[in-house]
């Protein structure tokens, strides 16, 4: 067991672990945290590592996105398997930081979402919202000797929330400014936007999922290349393709985009069946692979601009949109996004331009969220998730 209490004052080191809807691998970050939970924390990224999944594990994760294949034995087995892999990632990034497990106060692990159903499911008069993240925290704690906080989302959903997005809590802590309204846009598998009004109080922050981030782009590229490529590296295909206006207009009619906030989405809407429909459209209309990738890349940028127009602009005209996540490394997507936001006088910047890390941002967030859990302090934003009240999220394993 580590020698430092999670609630000790002064400088603490913590590990954050994150695996998103793209299933690119495990993001692991060591952060140095100073300050009490009721103060604005001072956070420094000490080390970061992305640990790719072994091919068999990644294949199994994608299989279990299909509820028909996600039998209880497979889910239980993968839960433990991912716990082992998350523990290995934690130990690897601790070594990279030049630290030992004994110097780490806690680990915060988001886990891997395999199903997220935040909409109302009423059975026998009971509203059954549910979500499933796997990567057993007890295994992580056992292998590392460090307390691990995991399974964050369910506590928010138990009080009527969407269980997502959760990162806005830490964005409020770290990014808010007195005189500028900022939009923080993550482009992972799913895109999500956090609105930080100038000089805002905690209850003024709001956030929501804008729609597909890299999910459609990655899914199409993977299918068209028979798995030889898992993403449009450097936006190469999109840059060489032409946007198909008819398909773009059809995709823009997706009802999710006009659904009121708070809202969240995921692979349940924009996963394999959605990709199937896109590929069927391509066959019927003779689109090239490059044109299809260009069109869904343009769609992704449009969803972000449309979200700002619908849900933000009239309330809080923004000064800047700060982009993180894997999508920030796609030049074609960023060009489309700049073209989308420039007419509305919103500057587009990356996390790196602001002195942060796109890769590490969400892993850092779960390290911070776990610190609040261990201090028994609330760490959700009801105005963001739609929860009835603030709660302490996360389950602790020692």
CA 139 to chain centroid, in Å, comes to 23
Residue 120 known to bind ligand: no
Tell me how far apart the 2 most distant CA atoms of the chain are, in Å: 63
* Cβ neighbourhood burial of 260 (10 Å; 0-12, 13-18, 19+): exposed
- In contact, 177 and 166? CB cutoff 8 Å: no
Dist. CA 173–CA 380, nearest whole Å: 12
The 3-state DSSP class for residue 56 equals helix
Does 234 carry a binding-site annotation?
no
The reply to whether 288 sits in an annotated binding site is no
Cα 137 from Cα 107, distance rounded (Å): 9
Asked if residues 266 and 21 have their Cβ atoms less than 8 Å apart, the reply is yes
Structure tokens at 262: 């708070």
Q: Is position 27 annotated in a ligand binding site?
A: yes
| Cα–Cα–Cα angle for 340, 342, 348, rounded to 5 degrees | 85
Residue 22 labelled as part of a binding site:
yes
Residues contacting residue 331 through CB under 8 Å, at least 6 positions apart: 234, 235, 239
246 annotated as ligand-binding: no
Measuring CA to CA, which residue among 148, 108, 102 is closest to residue 3? 102
In the chain, DSSP assigns E strands to: 12-19, 26-34, 42-51, 104-117, 122-123, 126-127, 130-134, 148-150, 182-187, 190-196, 206-212, 320-324, 347-350, 395-397
The answer on whether 305 is annotated among ligand-binding residues is: no
Is residue 165 reached through a cis peptide bond, with omega within 30 degrees of 0 on the bond before it?
yes
Q: What residues contact 294, with CB distance under 8 A and at least 6 apart?
A: 237, 238, 239, 240, 241, 242, 243, 244, 332
What are the helix and strand counts (H, E) for the chain?
A: 14, 14
21 is in an annotated binding site: yes
CA distance 146 to 397: 9
List, as residue ranges, the binding site: 20-27
List, as residue ranges, the binding site for ATP: 20-27
């Amino acid at each position: 067991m580590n020698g430092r209490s999670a609630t000790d004052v002064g400088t603490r080191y913590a590990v954050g672990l994150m695996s998103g809807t793209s299933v690119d691998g495990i993001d692991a970050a060591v952060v140095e945290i100073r300050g009490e939970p009721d103060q604005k924390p001072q956070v420094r990224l000490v080390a970061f590592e992305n640990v790719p999944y072994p091919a068999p594990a990644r294949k199994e994760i994608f299989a279990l996105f299909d509820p028909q294949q996600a039998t209880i034995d497979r889910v239980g087995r993968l839960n433990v398997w991912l716990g082992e892999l998350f523990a290995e990632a934690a130990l690897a990034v601790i070594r990279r930081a030049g630290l030992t497990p004994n110097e780490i106060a806690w680990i915060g692990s988001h886990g891997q979402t395999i199903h997220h159903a935040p909409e109302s499911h009423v059975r026998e008069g009971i509203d059954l919202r549910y979500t499933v993240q796997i990567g057993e925290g007890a295994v992580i704690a056992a292998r590392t000797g460090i307390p691990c906080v995991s399974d964050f989302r369910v506590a928010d959903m138990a009080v009527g929330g969407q269980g997502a997005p959760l990162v806005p809590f830490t964005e409020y802590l770290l990014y808010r400014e007195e005189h500028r309204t900022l939009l923080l846009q993550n482009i992972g598998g799913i895109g999500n936007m956090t609105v930080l009004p100038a000089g805002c109080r905690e209850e003024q922050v709001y956030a929501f999922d804008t729609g597909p981030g890299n999910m459609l782009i990655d899914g199409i590229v993977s299918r068209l290349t028979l798995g030889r490529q898992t993403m449009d590296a450097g936006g190469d295909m999109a840059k060489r393709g032409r946007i198909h206006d008819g398909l773009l207009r059809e995709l823009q009619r997706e009802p999710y985009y006009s659904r009121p906030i708070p809202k969240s989405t995921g692979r349940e809407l924009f996963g394999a069946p959605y990709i199937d429909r896109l590929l069927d459209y391509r066959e019927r209309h003779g689109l090239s692979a490059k044109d299809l990738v260009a069109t869904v890349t343009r769609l992704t940028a449009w969803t972000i601009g449309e979200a700002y127009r619908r849900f933000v602009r009239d309330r809080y005209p923004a000064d800047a949109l700060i982009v993180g996540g894997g999508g920030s490394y796609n030049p074609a997507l960023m060009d489309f996004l700049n073209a989308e936001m420039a007419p509305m006088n919103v500057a587009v910047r990356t996390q790196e331009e602001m002195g942060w890390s796109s890769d590490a941002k969400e892993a850092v967030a779960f390290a911070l969220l776990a610190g609040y859990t261990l201090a028994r302090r609330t760490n959700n934003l009801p105005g963001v998730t739609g929860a009835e009240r603030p709660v302490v999220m996360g389950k602790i394993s020692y």
